Structure 1
Amino acid sequence: MDTAQVRLWWLPVGAGGHLVIHTSRWWELWRSVRERRHPRPLFHAALEVAADGSTYAIEMTPSWGQGRSERGVVAEGPVGLRALGRLKLFRYEVRCWRGGIIPDLGYAPEPPLVFNVSTSGADALRARVPQVPDMVWGAKMPDGDMWNSNSLVSWLLQSSGIDAGALHPPHGGRAPGWRAGIDAAR
């Protein structure tokens, strides 16, 4: 059996100095007060799939500020409210980028979690990326979690036979949206 690897990277939200680091810190502070707990570090999940001599970068990011270069965009969706999605500022893109990069890997606090899978399993996971549920980024799901980039990754893992419910971000951190992707996959 030919083998491939699925690598799960946990990246600190806002790594690289993005604006989201400030908004996410305020959001986490507000959530921690509401939930009567201490604030925890927030993480964004991204995947790399290595098979047949190629590596694919899989993640969900904002559409704005990306330029026009090839980045493997296979799906897009609205941010905040579906109606706002008509404006590029309120759109996200889902990438499955052969030979692509995940820009903030240098900020990962630890090496990726590695899952050895069959080449056909890796191909099936990549084929599912464009089929991600058409959800609004930030929309509250029935279980109270929100849909976001972590939801894409947990949805892909769970629907590929990897128990995403058993995976957790490092350092006691949180990955908002993780549960939403698992629930959507079930």
Structure 2
Amino acid sequence: MLGSWSGDTGGEAAEGGEMGAPARESSIDLYWIPLGAGGRVVRWNGRLYEAISSRCSGRPAAALYHSALIVGDRSHSYTIEMAPVWNLKATQRGVVRVGPVGARWLGRFRLFRYEVRCWQGGFIPDIAEAVDSPQRVSSDEGRVRRVMTLVRSAPPLTWGRDELRVGDMWNSNSLVSWLLACSGHDMAAVTPPGGGRAPGWDAGLALAERGDQTTTQARLDHVDV
């Protein structure tokens, strides 16, 4: 199984942004990006998934969103996001964790691997298409420190699978909701724009409620995926 990877948090200037631009205050900003922004394949796959999911659930189809964070610690800003390892060409992306996509054994192949980034001075692809963003969820210095600590210990669960057995798959939204919930935010006040949905969000909340990553990891070590 793929485990932790203590990567550099970003020593190069990000494309389209200044490296390590000073943050004016401690902050945690949430961005909601339409699923598939900038890519037709992901967009149409997302629409197909939502059409099937909404029909099975007996509810109207909704717009789907991918979430990411930009965190400022008074000295620098950091982009926190979970994404495929191959979707950016920058050599330094602030990678702090890696995990498999689809099935744990597939993670040995780069095509089926994701990374968690905590990227100093980094950027979010397609941020220009974000909706009702940024949302300032906190200006508390303690919560900023907590998020920055937590992201380096994010569990490398399998993207697209429900290994937690909570009825929701693990993905990039799970990481964001887990970070915010574990750092003491009021999650009832954090929702996607305009009645949209963020698949995977509930999986992150469920893991945060359990609170014991050691127990969760021990369970996963015995899951045949």
The interval holding the TM-score normalised by the smaller chain is over 0.9
Of residues 74, 79, 82 in structure 1, which corresponds to 2:96? 74
The answer (yes or no) to whether the contact 2:25–2:72 under 8 Å persists in 1 is: no
Shift, 1:59, TM fit: 0.5
Shift, 1:137, TM fit: 0.4
Counterpart CA distance in 2 for 1:10 and 1:17 is 16
- Worse-matched range after superposition: 51-60 or 145-154: 51-60
Gaps of 5+ in 1: none
The residue that corresponds to 1:5 in the other structure is 27
The answer (yes or no) to whether the contact 2:29–2:135 under 8 Å persists in 1 is: yes
The residue that corresponds to 2:55 in the other structure is 33
- Worse-matched range after superposition: 110-119 or 20-29: 110-119
Shift, 1:3, TM fit: 5.1
The answer (yes or no) to whether the contact 1:3–1:118 under 8 Å persists in 2 is: no
What are the superposed Cα offsets for residues 120-147 of structure 1, whole Å, 9 maximum, x if unpaired? 4312211110111121001124220110
Counterpart CA distance in 2 for 1:69 and 1:42 is 29
The residue that corresponds to 1:94 in the other structure is 116
Q: Percent identity?
A: 46
Of residues 154, 166, 177 in structure 2, which corresponds to 1:143? 166
Shift, 1:18, TM fit: 5.0
Counterpart CA distance in 2 for 1:94 and 1:116 is 21
Counterpart CA distance in 1 for 2:58 and 2:86 is 35
Matched, 1:182 2:205: yes
The residue that corresponds to 2:189 in the other structure is 166
The answer (yes or no) to whether the contact 1:10–1:44 under 8 Å persists in 2 is: yes
- Superposed counterparts of 1:38-77, under 5 Å: 38-67=60-89, 69-77=91-99
Shift, 1:119, TM fit: 2.5
After TM superposition, where is structure 1 displaced by more than 6 Å over at least 4 residues in a row? none
Larger of the two Rg values belongs to structure: 2
The residue that corresponds to 1:121 in the other structure is 143
- Worse-matched range after superposition: 126-135 or 92-101: 126-135
Give the TM-score, by structure 2 length. Answer: 0.78
Task: Name the structure with the higher strand share.
Answer: 1
Counterpart CA distance in 1 for 2:107 and 2:145 is 30
Counterpart CA distance in 1 for 2:89 and 2:126 is 17
How many pairs align?
185
- Worse-matched range after superposition: 87-96 or 111-120: 111-120
Amino acid at match of 2:42: V
Shift, 1:28, TM fit: 0.7
Give the secondary-structure state (helix, strand or coil) at the position aligned to 1:96.
strand
Counterpart CA distance in 2 for 1:124 and 1:172 is 29
Gaps of 5+ in 2: 1-23, 210-225
